[in-house]
Amino acid sequence: MFYRQMGQIPHKRHTIFKKEDGNLYREQVMGTRGFSGTQSILYHHFMPTEVVKTDLLRGYLPEYEEQLPLKHRHFFTGTVSKSGDAVSARYYLLGNQDLLIGTANVTEPMKNYYRNGDGDELLFIHNGLGKLETMFGTLSYRAGDYLMIPIGTIYRMVPDQDEPTKILFLESFSHITTPRRYRNEYGQLLEHSPFCERDIRGPENLITHDQKGEFEVLTKSRGAIHSHILGHHPLDVIGWDGYLYPCAFNIEDFEPITGRVHQPPPVHQTFEGNNFVVCSFVPRLYDYHPEAIPAPYYHSNVNSDELLYYVKGNFMSRKGIQEGSITLHPSGIPHGPHPGKAEASIGKKETLELAVMIDTFHPLKVVKQAAELEDPDYMYSWVENK
């Protein structure tokens, strides 16, 4: 991330900053890795610690299937009927000790506010328009946006009522950032990176609320959802600056890396967290060696599980895939294109597919409720005479 400043801030940090009535604005340092990671400094009308009531609401950790056979899996998320706001609509599908993955049909605005106290969140907008109202300011979103929300950020999602929002969400237990190999020693994205700082959008405007009253913030932490009733509006920030803030990156701004022969999946990497990476598969020209096979070669994942979320377009290596499908190809067994797909790709000039891939370096577990979405025959779809 790069430095940003919004609203009013004092000339020097950790110094007196007064309101017109003579009272102090309340300074909050918000960062990662103690005081050695990226951070921002926010200035509040009220103390961010002013809580008038707390309560433990419910656990959120999903229940996993145990002792499942090792096989490739396919889930149809388009059949999920559950809907609601950006928190209540979340439908967990897969997870492990590093992250949780699922989808949500967001049909209504959040009536309260929310923050993830366990780690960063990454929300991929499959469909829809709306706004993300946060303590750092308001960020509008559209289809194809990745919304990156740092740990501890108070926010609410407000979808456009004429165009409900569907999201693929990733709840991490760590910080999410850009790939290290695309950054120089100062953190700037390098020339060979498939995107740059111009493509990353921060909050567009800072709307400050200075009213007192009781406002609920749902906090996700330590395996549970907690209720914190603040004694003031949670979006009371008058100004902030730093390197930590929510932002958006649209998948259409990812510039694909191509070559004479098929390139390996790391060229599609967009983000990384602790023990996982996120990749973007976008429309691109195929390989240009005269004898190239554009379809991916069969491969065994190297100590990682591979999850693909299919957004739209022509999924050239797969049969039976729908928009919103999720496939899981676990480590330990090989996978690759369906029968006939390698041959059919020869001579093709481009692909129009759009998909998000999440590779995890600890095995993904299947949430029990995901069984109702699964295609039981997917593992056998490589049998050529079937």
Give the pLDDT confidence of 275-327 residue by residue, as tens digits. 999 999 999 999 999 999 999 999 987 789 999 999 998 776 677 889 999 99
Token pair belonging to 110: 């959040």
Total-model pTM: 0.95
CB atoms within 10 A of CB 282: 21
What gap in Å lies between CA 124 and CA 306, rounded to an integer? 17
What gap in Å lies between CA 351 and CA 349, rounded to an integer? 7
Residue with tokens 């309260």: 112
Are 329 and 208 within one domain? Answer: no
Q: List the one residue out of 109, 101, 60, 105 whose CA is nearest residue 83.
A: 105
Are 258 and 320 within one domain? Answer: yes
- In this structure, of 22-36, 101-115, 143-157, the range with the lowest mean pLDDT score is 22-36
Helix extents (H) in the chain: 341-345
Are 205 and 295 within one domain? Answer: no
- What is the percentage of the chain residues whose pLDDT exceeds 90? 89
Q: How many domains does the chain have?
A: 2
Q: Provide the CATH number for the domain around residue 300.
A: 2.60.120.10
Residue 12 covered by a domain: no
Are 63 and 93 within one domain? Answer: yes
Domain that holds residue 358: 254-380
Give the pLDDT confidence of 17-43 residue by residue, as tens digits. 999 999 999 999 999 888 888 999 999
What gap in Å lies between CA 168 and CA 101, rounded to an integer? 7
